[in-house]
Amino acid sequence: MTTTVERPTESQRRFKVIGTRPIRHDGLGKVTGADRYGADVQLPGMLHAKMLRSPHAHARIKKIDTSKAEALPGVKAVVTSRDLPIIDDKPIDLAETLGNPRVLAENALASSKVLYKGHAIAAVAATSPHIAEEAAELIEVEYEVLQPVLDVREAMKKDAPLIHEKLTTHEVQRRFTRGDDTGVISNVASHLQFKQGDVADGFSRADVVVEREFTTVPVHQGYIEPQASTAQWAPDGHLTIWTSSQGSFGIRDQTAAILGIPQSMVKVVPMEIGGGFGGKIGTYLDPVAALLSKKAGLPVKIVMTRKEVFEGTGPTSGSYMRCKIGARRDGTITAAEFYLAYGAGAFPGSPVGAGAMYGLAPYKIDNVLIDAYDVVLNNPKVAAYRAPGTPQAAFAVESTLDELAEKLGIEPMEFRLTNAVREGDRQVNGIPFGSVGCVEVEEAIKNHPHYRTPLNGANRGRGVAMGFWGNGGMQSSATINVNTDGTISLITGSVDIGGTRVAVAMQAAEVLGLAAEDVVPTVGDTNAVGWTGITGGSRTAFSTGIAAITAAEQIKRTMAERAALKWETQPEDIEFEDGVFVSKMNREDRLTFKEIAASMMATGGPITASASSNPRQVGVSFAATLVDVEVDRETGKVQILRATAFQDVGMAVHPSYVEGQMQGGTVQGIGWALNEEYFFTDDGTMANSSFLDYRMPTSLDLPAIDTEIIEVPNPGHPFGVRGVGEVSIVAPMAAVANAIHDAVGIRMTSLPMSPGEVLKALDEQQRAGK
Amino acid sequence: MSLKIHVRTTVNGEETEFLCEGRQSLLEALRDILGLTGTKEGCNDGNCGACTINLDGRIVDSCLVLAAEAEGKTILTIEGVASIDGLHPLQQSFLEQAALQCGICTPGFIVAAKALLEQEPDADEHRIRHWLAGNLCRCTGYDKIIRAVLDAGAVVRGAK
Amino acid sequence: MAEKGSRAKALAGGTDVLVQLRAKRYLIDRLVDIKKIPEMNELTCTEQAGLVLGAAVPCCLIYENQDVSRLYPGLIDSAFLIGGIQIQGRASIGGNLCNAAPSADAIPTLIALEATCNIVGPKGKRTIAVEDFCTGPGQNVLKDGELLVSIHLPPPKRNSGAHYLRFIPRNEMDIAVAGVGASVVLSNGKIESARLALASVAPTPVFATKAAATLVGKEANEEAVLEAAEEAKKAAKPISDMRGTIEQRIHLVGVLTKRALNKAIARAKGAE
């Protein structure tokens, strides 16, 4: 096994805590099984609930009869959409996606129509999960089955069956807005266009133009923990929800909106969360558990089965894309045209906007035309999935570029470097890039031993691809309480999916001159800490980090005031060096952090500080995947031999967890590249809704994943931190496709590049006599 | 189905009794009857390994064992891996190597890897990857998990 | 079990039956744990009498047994690739056979090794060849109240070799897109007899007698192997589903037959 490079870090020169690798504070509970996740909640008198889900992909609900279920001994409550209030049809911000409580409610419990197989219709709470399951099967639903629409291009046709009778296409100028209503009824929810320069003129100046079509199918986030929620609606109207989600405040706000009750009446208690990757931002179970609890007068827990997770929760979009890029002989790209149509699933809201914005981001191209379409289908409503919408687009762009480089006879990394974006270059929406590490990432690839070591052997090939993600900022809150022994407690609202407690705690420790172990980080419930956005959008270490840093700075100021009181001087005259407060007036006057903490009750009482972040300068991220494969020409199977992930992380707070994000995203990308897919039958049934047939990579499918951390500091963060969670998933699919081409000479333009598909392409190659 | 079955078993070194339904899995019994929620459910059909326990010296997916089958058997769950003397080398190694992110698969991996290291503390990378192929992790890409098991193996055999 | 008839099922390792019960593939009133019946756990292996394999013996005990590993490496191929380690601690070859999945990884091996089934029922005992055991997907010859007690493998012939391999998209934890079990007996470099069986290409495992017959009397070389592989493809009558298409499966039968035979021949020559 090759070793991950121990980097000579910039951070180790500048910082004491940042850049080190302390053991995460919450680790013990996770290696001993003591930590409690969503499904681990047990409350006195708690009932268990199961959902009834649609067996049809598209059908009108004519009648629901729950009487037999209600009559089953042990059943305490049954709910359907009739139990939901009628609520406003207005969008709320769900961070990476736009939410609409009416849509979320309709997705949680269908009213008049079911829009995908697995769409929830009713729920039963009973004294045991087995009784609840039996009862759910006793609910009788009468359907008028309609023709399902399962393919993006089919859905866009004029005569396609309509999924929503009143849905009209909106012309969108900016992402995350609904845009102008065209009044045209169709399955196309929106059209978004980006235009720079003159593409016709650009292509006319190109020596070589490559145009290719690409398709991808939905893939699932694949978190190992199924959704789970427990609700207790008290007689006084207070609702408490214990849930594993990516954002407690998001779940609170969505649930309150769906149920039509004030946010103040809802408390969300974050449980540990067993993976999310974007899939646990929107609510599915929480309002349903709440309604059941209200009816039954007891706490109710709902835990999804794996099949429900696949059929009822968000995969990401399948897509149809056309990518056309032209370049001159010298390697300068002159124009690009990019058409993207993404499936949104049952309700509008695919991440096609991100694909449109970010697919071409690593390249400076003056003439660009991008058309993006958001299309509804009879699939589960898509949810965010790690750099939502961008991996599909990068697959198209980076594959097209690889072919263009080949046709120009230019080495792929040279071609990319010739066109790499730098600070000040304009993005497709016209806004210039700030400080970015695109060139640095590309140089790092060229200089990496993996890239410089020749790959030998038959049917082996090497591929590289770039990826970009805009990262999120959003708001976070943090509270720091100083203990009299000089340790501190740090409460944030950010649920910890992969080590953010330690990453945020380290930033507070850095400011206060403490060791990471002196900070006790806690994830607070929605009544215990200020509003905090989701753990998602690669924003937690960055934005919650800023909140913690700001709170820590306040603590430092308060401590300086306490010292000033003692030394009868002004706080401005006090410096903080290596964990010691020193008077500039008399350098003999020194008090350590611990000493001021010990005396705080005598000097003015407890020292606490709360702060929030609302960052403006989000550091965007470039990344790349370099991969070696071997193709079995007889079976079409692709084996990953070696993979290296490159990423500009700004500043690695805890390098181990940064590497972990890079490795995890790379492997999810490899799964997406090779075998993961929603395999729908003609009637819209997902035929492979289990971990047996939805083939996520196992440990035996992979080599070690090497990482190369690049640090181009983000000026928008005190320590230079950029988000690190998502961008690593963007490049792998194209990198693998390019490696397959290098190995056996075929261009794969559809995902997944499963053995059967590779075999087909090899057959065609043979028949074409290449 | 109301006739309950009385089961006597040894869980993490303690003699234990419980009443279960015939249709309940051992996973359900451990979690819902005995309150040992460290063993996780990821798929309930033997394809993710999150519910791995050690049953009479063999690792099994507890979702594919009926609770009633535990009669007279000896069970080890994640809650029994650490001792009063401290963490097992695997637990320590997972912490030091950052071999977990969300942590939901971690108990299954540790229980499975422990069984391997007990018989083959010098297991190499390929052997470890093969042994753990029945445990899915979606966060880490396995790299740090494999390193952690290799490292713990060295501790177990006294080489580190 | 006789009392409940088709509403009763036997429980061995449970790795199939519990999953199918939860998926409501069938409804039953009684699940009978047969692991405590001594005959079900028999594992006797000698060069003279062959192998008696109790129907409930889990895979791990098979591949950990040195005599079985030495005499029946083809069976070890199957036992070692059914599920992951957790599954192998519970799943039995007998259960794999009774479950009668077209994709079962053990059945082609058993057919290639001329295994027979010892069945006990209310009307006494009977013995049938494994190739006659499966009658459809999930269907077998067992009548209500009958149990598969054990599987018998005859002693390995001199200069014989067997191999099972399957094609799966991942490297473990997967269902065969296609699988091939092969056995050969060599005599002076020529193939004296051969048996081939295919997985995942028909409603039941396929005993490909015609393909095997093409090998008899030929030199054990590439030409003979390729001819048998072509013939084996004709025996495959697969469907297209989420795991593979008709064309892909037929193609794979050819590839896998070739690879399985080559390895079986190598084993027969004592290369292993």
* pLDDT tens digits, one per residue of A680-728: 999 999 999 999 999 999 999 999 999 999 999 999 999 999 999 999 9
pLDDT of residue A230: 98
Q: How far apart are CA A468 and CA C168, in angstroms?
A: 33
What does residue A319 show for φ and ψ, rounded to 5 degrees? -150, 160
* Strand, coil or helix: A449: helix
A518-544 residue pLDDT tens: 999 999 999 999 999 999 999 999 999
Alpha-carbon dihedral A28, A32, A34, A35, rounded to 10 degrees:
60
10 Å CB burial of residue A390 (0-12, 13-18, 19+) is: buried
Among C101, C121, C130, residue whose Cα is nearest residue C207: C130
- pLDDT on residue C196: 98
pLDDT of C139 over the 80 cut: yes
Provide the edge-to-edge strand list for the sheet that holds A580-583: A574-577, A580-583, A590-592
Query: Residue B109 has which token pair?
Result: 């991996």
- Among residues A136, A121, A116, A720, the alpha carbon closest in space to that of A435 is found at A720
Q: Do domains A1-10+436-471+619-770 and A476-613 have the same CATH topology?
A: yes
CA dihedral A101, A102, A103, A104 (to 10 degrees): 40
- Report the C-alpha gap between A596 and A255 in whole angstroms: 44
On the 0-12 / 13-18 / 19+ scale of CB atoms within 10 A, C131 is buried
A343 close to A410: Cβ distance less than 8 angstroms: no
Architecture of domain A1-10+436-471+619-770: 2-Layer Sandwich (3.30)
The one-digit pLDDT tens for each residue of chain B (160 residues) are 458 999 999 999 999 999 999 999 999 999 999 999 999 999 999 999 999 999 999 999 999 999 999 999 999 999 999 999 999 999 999 999 999 999 999 999 999 999 999 999 999 999 999 999 999 999 999 999 999 999 999 999 998 8
Distance of CA C23 to the CA centre of its chain: 25
For helices C246-268 and C73-81, angle between their N-to-C axes, nearest 10 degrees: 140
Query: What is the mean predicted confidence (pLDDT) over A204-220?
Result: 98
Check CB contact under 8 Å for C171 and A688.
no
Cβ within 8 Å of residue A541, ≥6 positions away: A500, A503, A504, A507, A653, A721, A723, A724
Residue A3 makes CB contacts below 8 A (sequence gap 6+) with A706
Pick the residue from chain B with its C-alpha nearest to C61.
B58
Query: Among the CATH numbers 3.40.1080.10, 3.20.20.450, 3.30.360.10, 3.30.365.10, which is that of A476-613?
Result: 3.30.365.10
Strands B58-61 and B74-76: unpaired
- The answer to whether C87 touches C105, Cβ cutoff 8 Å, is no
**Minimum distance, in Å, between the CA of residue B136 and any CA atom of chain A:** 6
- Answer whether A573's CB lies under 8 Å from A639's CB: no
Name the residue among A243, A313, A255 with its Cα closest to residue A287.
Answer: A255
Overall pTM > 0.90: yes
d(CA B146, CA A697): 14
Domain limits, chain A:
1-10+436-471+619-770, 476-613
Say what the alpha-carbon torsion angle A32, A37, A43, A49 is, to the nearest 10 degrees. Answer: -140
A196: closest CA of chain B, how far (Å): 38
Cβ-defined contact of A674 to C241 (cutoff 8 Å) = no
- Rounded to 5 degrees, what angle do the CA atoms A352, A462, A441 make? 60
Inspect the interface and report whether the beta carbons of A635 and C255 lie closer than 8 Å. Answer: yes
Rg of chain B taking only CA atoms, in angstroms:
16
In angstroms, the Cα distances linking B113 to A360, A582, B130, C100 are 43, 52, 11, 32
Q: Strand A266-270 to strand A580-583: parallel, antiparallel, or no bridges (unpaired)?
A: unpaired
Rounded Cα gap, residues A548 and A480, in angstroms: 8
**Tokens found for residue A623:** 């990344």
Across the range A163-181, mean pLDDT stands at 84
Q: Which range is least confidently modeled, A8-12, A155-159, A194-198, A557-561?
A: A8-12
Q: The tokens 């992909």 sit on which residue? A: A57
Q: At residue C24, does pLDDT exceed 80?
A: yes
Taking the CB of residue C143, how many other CB atoms lie within 10 A of it? 14
Please, which contacts does C139-145 make with residues 24 or more away whose CB atoms are closer than 8 Å? C139/C100, C140/C97, C140/C98, C140/C100, C142/C98, C144/C1, C144/C2, C144/C5, C144/C6, C145/C1, C145/C2, C145/C5, C145/C121
The residues, any chain, with a CB within 8 Å of residue C200's CB and separated by 6 or more, are C102, C103, C166, C175, C176, C177, C178, C179, C238, C243, C244, C249
> What does the pLDDT read at residue A86?
77
Contact C86 B25 (CB under 8 A): no
Q: Which residues of chain A neighbour B143 with C-beta distances below 8 Å?
A: 4, 663, 702, 704-705
Say what percent of chain A tops pLDDT 90: 93
Decide if C89 touches B, using CB distance below 8 A.
Answer: yes
pLDDT in tens, A718-736: 999 999 999 999 999 999 9
Q: Please give the Cα distance from A674 to A639 (Å, whole number).
A: 9
Q: In the predicted model, what is the mean pLDDT of residues A127-132?
A: 96
How far apart, in whole angstroms, are the C-alpha atoms of residue C62 and residue C83?
A: 14
List the catalytic residues of A.
726
Rounded to whole angstroms, how far apart are CA atoms C47 and C248? 40
Shortest Cα–Cα distance, B148 to chain A (Å): 12
Q: Specify the residue for token string 């089961």.
A: B7
pLDDT of residue A114: 98
Strands A460-469 and A208-216 come out as: unpaired
pLDDT tops 80 at residue A3? no
Which residue spans within chain B are E strands per DSSP?
5-11, 14-20, 52-55, 58-61, 74-76
HSE on the CB side for A729, CA within 13 Å? 29
Q: Is the N-terminal amide bond of A755 cis, ω within 30° of 0?
A: no
CB-nearest to B45 from C13, C19, C35 is C19
Query: Which of B77, B102, B133 lies closest to A700 in CB terms?
Result: B133
Mind listing the pLDDT tens digit for each residue in A509-520? 999 999 999 999
Scored b (16 or more CB within 10 A) or e, A305-323 reads bbbbbbbbbbbbbbbbbbb
Q: Is the ipTM of this complex over 0.85?
A: yes
CB-nearest to A660 from B77, B95, B140 is B140
Chains that touch C (3 or more CB pairs under 8 A): A, B
pLDDT of residue A91: 67
The residue of chain B with its CA nearest to that of C172 is: B133
- A754 at interface of C, judged by CB pairs closer than 8 A: yes
Closest CA to C87 of C14, C181, C18, C138: C14
* Chain segment A51-84, per-residue pLDDT in tens: 999 999 999 999 999 999 999 999 999 999 999 9
Which range, of A82-91, A198-207, A659-668, averages the lowest pLDDT? A82-91
Domains in chain C: ranges and CATH: 7-24+37-153 (3.30.465.10), 160-268 (3.30.390.50)
Cα–Cα nearest to B119, from C64, A428, A362: C64
B51-55, C25-29, C151-155, range with the lowest pLDDT: C25-29
Tell me the one-letter amino acid at C197: A
* Pairing status of strand A333-345 against strand A368-376: parallel
Structural contact between residues B24 and B93, judged by C-beta atoms closer than 8 angstroms: no
The 10s digit of each residue's pLDDT in A626-680 is: 999 999 999 999 999 999 999 999 999 999 999 999 999 999 999 999 999 999 9
Q: Find the mean pLDDT for residues C175-204.
A: 97
Is a pLDDT exceeding 80 seen at residue A121? yes
Q: Which residue has the tokens 């028909």?
A: C202
Residue C25 banded pLDDT, cuts 50, 70, 90: confident
Listed in sequence order, the DSSP H helices in A122-198 are 129-138, 152-156
Q: Answer yes or no: do A688 and C172 touch at CB < 8 A.
A: no
CA atoms within 13 A on the CB side of B75: 33
Residues in chain B with CB shorter than 8 Å from the CB of C11 are 66
The answer to whether the beta carbons of residues A99 and A282 sit under 8 Å apart is yes
**Sheet strand arrangement including C160-167:** C160-167, C178-187, C190-199, C206-207
Q: Which residues contact A287 (CB under 8 A, 6 or more apart)?
A: A84, A105, A108, A254, A255, A258, A259
* pLDDT at A96 exceeding the cut of 50: no
DSSP secondary structure letters along A628-669:
EEEE-TTT--EEEEEEEEEEE-SS-SSHHHHHHHHHHHHHHH
Buried/exposed B30-59: b ≥16 CB within 10 Å, e otherwise = bbbbbebbbbbbbbbbbbbbbbbbbbeebb
Chains touching chain A through at least 3 C-beta pairs below 8 angstroms are: B, C
Could you tell me the pLDDT band of residue C185, with boundaries at 50, 70 and 90? very high
Write the CB contacts of A23 (distance below 8 Å, at least 6 apart in sequence): A502, B95, B96
Give the nearest partner residue to B60 out of C33, C90, C171, using CB atoms. C90
CA gap A330, A334 in Å, rounded? 11
Residue type present at position A406: E
Percent of chain A with pLDDT over 70: 96
**Span A305-329, pLDDT tens digits:** 999 999 999 899 999 999 999 999 9
**SS in 3 state form for A527-552?**
CCCCCCCCCCCCCHHHHHHHHHHHHH
Question: Which residue in C27, C35, C57, C85 has the most chain B C-beta atoms within 10 A of its own C-beta, making it the best mutation to test that interface?
Answer: C85
pLDDT of residue A2: 39
Of all residues in chain C, the one with the smallest CA distance to B52 is: C86
Q: What are phi and psi of A418, to 5 degrees?
A: -60, -35
Q: Give the nearest partner residue to C242 out of A688, A698, A700, using CB atoms.
A: A688
Per the listing, tokens 């199924």 go with A226
- The structural domains of chain B, ordered by start, are 5-80 (3.10.20.30), 89-156 (1.10.150.120)
Handedness of CA C52, C55, C59, C60 (dihedral sign): negative
Backbone torsions φ then ψ of A173, nearest 5 degrees: -95, -30
In terms of Cα–Cα distance, which of A280, A278, A283, A390 is closest to A342?
Answer: A390
